[in-house]
Structure 1
């Protein structure tokens, strides 16, 4: 009935843990107190009241928003203010003009589009791991582009020496007949919640030059950097702020940004490719015709961005909220003796270590890494809390990304359920939990 690719992508929906629980099954204190608390999807629910109030009071939708032209990937109503936003906050080494920007319906779409124009089927994008777990889906679903992982220890990701791991990964891929066309990083890092030092960005660009591959920096959390109170934190430096002279041809450098995280508005479905490579922009713009952004979303975002006073105050509010909630959730984790990676100061999440709680694999009952993590995640669901297994994000078993951008009451209840589930595991006899 279906094509081979149709069968392939339809099967993705059957893979466990690829997608969060349905909206109707989620926890609500009044309407559904026994519902599932999802601490998996990176959405910031804490500032939606402020955003809703501002939009209802200040945004008007022009009739032009109902035309085809307004949904263009080059719509000046949005490329002009977003270029100004980038120049103000990302501190590029040379100014970004509106002509360097292509609009798409989300950063996920930009991933798909970049994979389509930079790689052929069965080529690959190289990414470090641990990493955000959906890149394989983003690049592979339609473009049939693979992902090559450079497995690293968490803090190794930010060291200049990490290029050794990338070199090992690309050599292994080439021996297997896979052509790596680009390196992708997340900066700030998802799920580690840290920023790359400038010297590491430079070394990664040098590596891409030597290997003649593109350098893609996903900077969707660029301005979601806050004072976490942790030691050893590093401020955000955009790839655009690095002078590429002598490092990498600027035509090989591409940055992604969007409205989903810093503006807490994933429902607007707006992502941006920032690139000085005209051919890449043309290819992305042409391929984007199958999923262009809404004119109404463009109208909302453009008017928000043109109100620079609001943007400044709103981003400050977001950072203050993230800092407060990060300190709240990490205090709960410490109280309950749940290990986590310290030193984070960006994003919506904390990287927690539950490796001591995954079931053992034995001769009588052999279990793969994936099976062990899913067995633990299933117990969490039974207790009413949803966390996606780290198998999607980490080669080391037992790590989970915990999203904390909810009201404190919801976070506390989610942690309570998590701890209760861990205490009930029959394969543990010495769990050190409060």
Structure 2
């Protein structure tokens, strides 16, 4: 029988029943569900949930307006004003944001899809450095039809000025082999999964590259305020500086610079489902996205709740300060645990929720005879062992890792939960 589905629908059949969603429906609890999964593979910050909920539950009242369509699909004027004021304070843009520079979506994934749709025709390219946040790929390609071009760096530091040449080579190779244009360069700044910030000089050179080829620079700054002090690793991590804080005069047409932000990470509230596209000098872009904004219409209740939070300057100041302290403490605990068990990780992080860890190397050390003939399959082997121990991590394979055996651990969990996850990881490797 001929399938009634389109080819693009067939291409994603099964993704809704992926392993991750199955694991999220079966969470571990030491008392009620000891046989559930310990999940340190999904980028959620639970460290501040109690603090945030205590505030929200004393502030939220709902006028009837928030049971209506509110101000429309691009975000309520009140929320966009609150976001603009909040981000002006924390991102230090050269040109202050106004509500007219912002378009609200029901999450940053929706914002990414909008941007991809607006900048590319099907088959055109978007540059993305490796390793990358794995969901960038479907966000930019499944429905918009863009081709994501993974940029390899080899032994070059992906945050260095030298890495800009890698982006240029990838751009030229794609255009030469396909005859199609590269339309955008996507950055995750601070970075997921490496937990580092791009230096200003690298950002400037990436802007120059984008200007040279008339490519849009998209800076996803969803972790902008989740920057913390690393007390464990040697060296001085690069501080965060927003793309909006860089003077573009003589560097790049400001109409090519765009920013994404949301409530999911910096406020540990993925479930609020609010993101924002910021473009200060490209009104045609925002007008185009307004035309399809109906499909990413955010909840009026979520908008009301976010506005309450963002308008309270005293609360957000305390929240960010305490969140940074907890992030630093949780990272230090997890990094020390890994060091104590001889597990390599990418040192020098100072932002976001992640440890990039080389579990494959540790497994080879513990099982040299078994792994002597294992190449890239080491990642699959370790993942199987982790799942047998009911602990879920994100595989570096899905994040475009250039080397096998690497995984991403999310450390932003209460201590008991994180310790259980790390214990199971060590057990899975056979070190206990």
* TM-score past 0.5 threshold: yes
* Residue aligned with 2:25, SS: helix
Matched with 2:270 is: 266
* Residue aligned with 2:248, SS: coil
Contact persistence 2:156–2:162 (CA under 8 A)? no
Query: Shift of the alpha carbon at 1:24?
Result: 3.5
Pairing partner for 1:390 from 373, 390, 396: 396
- For structure 2, the 5+ residue unaligned runs are none
Pairing partner for 1:236 from 231, 237, 240: 240
* Residue aligned with 2:13, SS: helix
TM alignment of 1:95-174, pairs within 5 A: 95-153=96-154, 156-174=157-175
* Residue aligned with 1:227, SS: coil
* Residue aligned with 2:291, SS: helix
Q: Does 2:217 align with 1:215?
A: yes
Distance 1:388 1:402 in 2: 7
* Residue aligned with 1:176, SS: helix
Matched with 1:77 is: 78
* Residue aligned with 1:69, SS: coil
Matched with 1:299 is: 304
Distance 1:112 1:367 in 2: 37
Query: Shift of the alpha carbon at 1:11?
Result: 4.3
Q: Does 2:361 align with 1:356?
A: yes
Matched with 1:426 is: none
Q: Which moved more, 1:22-31 or 1:203-212?
A: 22-31
Distance 1:414 1:237 in 2: 33
Matched with 2:408 is: 401
Instruction: Give the CA RMSD over aligned residues.
Output: 2.1
Query: Shift of the alpha carbon at 1:175?
Result: 2.3
Pairing partner for 2:337 from 332, 335, 342: 332
Matched with 1:5 is: 8
TM-score (norm 1): 0.92
* Residue aligned with 2:71, SS: helix
Which consecutive segments of 4 or more residues in structure 1 shift more than 6 A? 365-368
- State the Cα deviation string for residues 70-89 of structure 1 (Å, max 9, x = none): 35314211000100011100
How has the CA–CA distance of structure 1 residues 272 and 196 changed in structure 2, closer, same or farther, with 3 Å as cutoff?
same
- State the Cα deviation string for residues 139-160 of structure 1 (Å, max 9, x = none): 1121121210111258711111
Contact persistence 1:70–1:298 (CA under 8 A)? no
TM-score (norm 2): 0.93
- For structure 1, the 5+ residue unaligned runs are 424-432
Query: Shift of the alpha carbon at 1:22?
Result: 3.4
Q: How many residues align?
A: 421
Distance 1:125 1:327 in 2: 35
Contact persistence 2:196–2:348 (CA under 8 A)? yes
Matched with 1:185 is: 187
Query: Shift of the alpha carbon at 1:287?
Result: 1.7
Q: Which moved more, 1:219-228 or 1:21-30?
A: 21-30
